[in-house]
Structure 1
Amino acid sequence: MFGAYVTVTILASVFTAIAAVTYFAGHDYPKAQLDMKRLPHSWMPMLGAFLAAGSVGLLAGFAVPLLGILASIGLVLYFVGALVAHLRVGSRNLVGWGVFFITVVAALVVNIAHNG
């Protein structure tokens, strides 16, 4: 179980950190996603900060387990919000969202199983 906990937590942290960097760097992909969801580009730093905080929180969970659990809950909520944004505009292209969502849900499950 410990191996799964470490692997899934690090994987989720890396995924969300890379996503955060794309938001902070102003990459074209997050801009296109915001345009598609009819959200302002001014939200990019805030969304990147949420992802970065979740990524750091997952890693901090190795030292303080409650932080890892709270970070994974926050990331699950973030991606639920992303799903709502997709569905609000009628987008059915949910493969990317699904990869992130499954990863952060798995992080939540292994964090609770290992530390709960």
Structure 2
Amino acid sequence: MFAAYVTLNILASLFTAIAATTYLINHEYPREQMEMKRLPLSWMPRLGATLAAGSLGLLAGFVVPVLGTLASLGLVLYFIGAFIAHARVGSRKLTGWAVFFVTVTATFVVNLAYHDFW
């Protein structure tokens, strides 16, 4: 269980840190996604900061377990919101979303199980 806990937390932290970076540097891909979902581009820094906070929270969870669990829950909620944004415009390009959502959901479940928060 420890190996799954460490691996998933690091993997989810890495994925969300990379995504946060693309949002914060105003990369073309997230800009196109924002336009496709008809969301204001002014939200990009906020969304990037949210992803960065989640990434750092997952790493902080190694020291303060409840922070990691709350960060993983926050990321699950973030990606539920992303799904709603896709669904709102009828987008069926959900492969990237699914990879992130499955990763952060598995991280949340493993955090709950590993720390006996059930």
Runs of 5+ in structure 2 lacking a partner?
A: none
What's the TM-score once normalised by structure 1's chain length?
0.99
The residue correspondences of 1:76-115 to structure 2 (distance < 5 A) are 76-115=76-115
Secondary structure of residue in 2 paired with 1:112: helix
Deviations 1:26-56 (A, max 9, x none): 0000000000000011000000000000000
Q: Aligned-residue CA RMSD in angstroms?
A: 0.4
Distance 1:65 1:32 in 2: 36
Distance 1:111 1:59 in 2: 12
What's the TM-score once normalised by structure 2's chain length?
0.97
CA-CA distance at 1:21 after TM superposition = 0.2
Q: Which stretches of structure 1, 4 residues or longer, exceed 4 Å deviation after superposition?
A: none
CA-CA distance at 1:76 after TM superposition = 0.2
1:39 aligns with 2:28: no
Residue 34 of structure 1 aligns to which amino acid in structure 2?
A: M
1:13 aligns with 2:13: yes
CA-CA distance at 1:111 after TM superposition = 0.5
Deviations 1:71-106 (A, max 9, x none): 000000000000000000000110000000000001
**Identical-pair percentage:** 69
Distance 1:73 1:50 in 2: 12
Counting matched residue pairs gives: 116
Distance 2:70 2:8 in 1: 16
What's 1:26 paired with?
26
